[in-house]
Amino acid sequence: MDWLVAAAIIGGMGAVMWALAMLGRWLRRRGTAGAAIASAMATYNELHLSSDHRSFAEMKAEDERRTPDVAPDPLRRR
């Protein structure tokens, strides 16, 4: 009987984790995920899905990058 309780607890935790993963996926797809949810999902991805975390970090760095300004040509006269 004890194994049944343990199985129910493990199954319930698995169901909650699955539901949260699906919620995060749905929110990211709709574009309504705020910064807090995006960060929370990044933490989840870092722990469980390392390739997803790397791509998230790359996208975040890409957003923060500025386009380089054109360097002035010292030989060109104005």
Predicted confidence (pLDDT) per residue in 1-20, tens digit: 788 999 999 999 999 999 99
Query: Tell me, what's the pLDDT at 69?
Result: 64
Residues of the chain with pLDDT under 50: none
Please report the pLDDT score of residue 15 as a whole number: 95
pTM value is 0.39
The CA distance from 31 to 39, in Å, is 14
Residue type, 41: M
Q: Contacts by 69-74 with C-beta closer than 8 Å and gap 24+? A: none
pLDDT of residue 23: 87
pLDDT of residue 77: 63
pLDDT number for residue 68: 62
